[in-house]
Amino acid sequence: MKRERLQKNFSEWFSGILRNADIMETRYPVKGLFVWLPHGLKLRNHVFAIMRGLLERSGHQEVLFPQLIPENIFRKEAEHIRGFEEQVYWVTHGGKDKLDVKLALRPTSETSIYPMFALWIRSHADLPIKIYQIVNIFRYETKMTKPMIRLREVTTFKEAHTAHAKPEEAEAQVREAVHIYKRFFDELGVPYVVTKRPQWDTFAGAEYSIAFDTLAPDGRTLQIGTVHNLGQNFAKVYELKYEAPNGKHHYVYQACYGVSERVIAAVMMAHGDDVGLCLPPNVAPIQVVIVPIPYKGREVPVEQIGAAVKNELAAAGLRVHLDERDLRPGNKFYYWERRGVPLRLEVGPEDVKKEQVTVVRRDTSEKQAIAKGALKTKVKQLLEEITGDLRERAWKSFHESIEEASDTETIKRVIEKRGGIARMPWCGGKACGKALEEQTGGDLLGEEFDGKTPSGACPICSKRAKVSVLIARTY
Q: Which residues bind ligand 5CA (CB under 6 A)?
A: 108, 110, 139, 141, 150-151, 154, 159, 203, 223-226, 228, 256-260, 262
User: Could you tell me the smallest distance in angstroms from the CB atom of residue 423 to Zn ion?
Assistant: 16
C-beta of 45 vs 410, nearer to ligand 5CA: 45
Contact of residue 473 among Zn ion, ligand 5CA, none (CB under 5-8 Å per partner type): none
**Residue 256 interacts with Zn ion (CB under 5 A): yes or no:** no
- CB atoms near residue 64 (< 10 Å): 9
Distance CA 365, CA 346 (A): 13
* Cα distances (angstroms) measured from residue 413 to each of 9, 409, 418, 419, 420: 20, 6, 7, 8, 9
- 436 scored as a contact of Zn ion (CB under 5 A): no
Of 228-236, 277-285, 401-409, 430-438, the window that binds Zn ion (rule: CB under 5 A) is 430-438
Span of 55-63, 150-158, 257-265, 455-463 interacting with Zn ion by CB under 5 A: 455-463
For ligand 5CA, which is the closer residue by CB, 46 or 146? 146
| Closest to ligand 5CA by CB, 139 or 423 | 139
Task: Tell me if 458 contacts Zn ion by CB under 5 A.
Answer: yes
The distance of closest approach from Cβ of residue 257 to ligand 5CA in the complex, given in angstroms and rounded to an integer, is 5
Considering the complex, state which of residue 172 and residue 461 has its C-beta at the smaller distance from Zn ion.
461
Q: Which of residues 368-427 bind Zn ion (CB under 5 A)?
A: 427
Written as one string, the DSSP assignment of 409-424 is HHHHIIIIII--EEEE
Judge whether 471 and 411 are in contact, CB under 8 Å.
yes
Query: Pairing mode, if any, of strands 129-138 and 61-62?
Result: parallel
Residues 6+ apart with CB under 8 A from 94: none
Residue 358 CB, nearest distance to ligand 5CA (Å)? Answer: 41
Select 342 or 425, whichever has its Cβ closest to Zn ion. 425
Residue number, 257 or 426, with CB nearest to ligand 5CA: 257
Decide which of Zn ion, ligand 5CA, none touches 358; Cβ closer than 5 to 8 Å per partner kind. Answer: none
In the sheet with 467-472, reading across from the earlier edge strand, the strands are 61-62, 129-138, 153-164, 253-259, 221-231, 208-215, 193-196, 443-448, 467-472, 421-426, 402-404
Site membership for Zn ion, residue 1 (CB under 5 A) = no
For residues 125 and 122, give the distance between their C-alpha atoms in angstroms, rounded to a whole number.
8
Among 460, 467, 470, 471, binds Zn ion (CB under 5 A): 460
Q: Give the single-character DSSP code of 457.
A: B
Could you tell which of ligand 5CA, Zn ion, none binds residue 458, using a CB distance below 5 to 8 A set by kind?
Zn ion
User: Least distance from C-beta 226 to ligand 5CA, angstroms?
Assistant: 4
Q: Is 467 in the site for Zn ion (CB under 5 A)?
A: no
90: which residues sit within 8 A by CB, 6+ positions away? Answer: 71, 102, 103, 104, 105
For the CB of residue 230, give the shortest distance to ligand 5CA in the complex, in Å.
9
Verify binding: residue 444, Zn ion, rule CB under 5 A: no
| 206 binding Zn ion? (CB under 5 A) | no
From residue 327, alpha-carbon distances to 22, 47, 333, 359 in Å are 18, 31, 10, 19
Q: Which stretch binds Zn ion (CB under 5 A): 119-127, 147-155, 280-288, 450-458?
A: 450-458
Query: Tell me, what amino acid is at 368?
Result: Q
Q: How far is CA 246 from the centre of its chain?
A: 44
Span from 27-35, 340-348, 411-419, 428-436 in contact with Zn ion (CB under 5 A): 428-436
Tally of CB atoms within 10 A around 200:
10
Start-to-end CA distance of the chain, whole Å, equals 25
Residues forming beta bridges with residue 70, ordered by sequence position = 103
How many residues of this chain interact with Zn ion, rule: CB under 5 A?
6
Chain residues in the site for Zn ion (CB under 5 A): 427, 429, 432, 458, 460-461
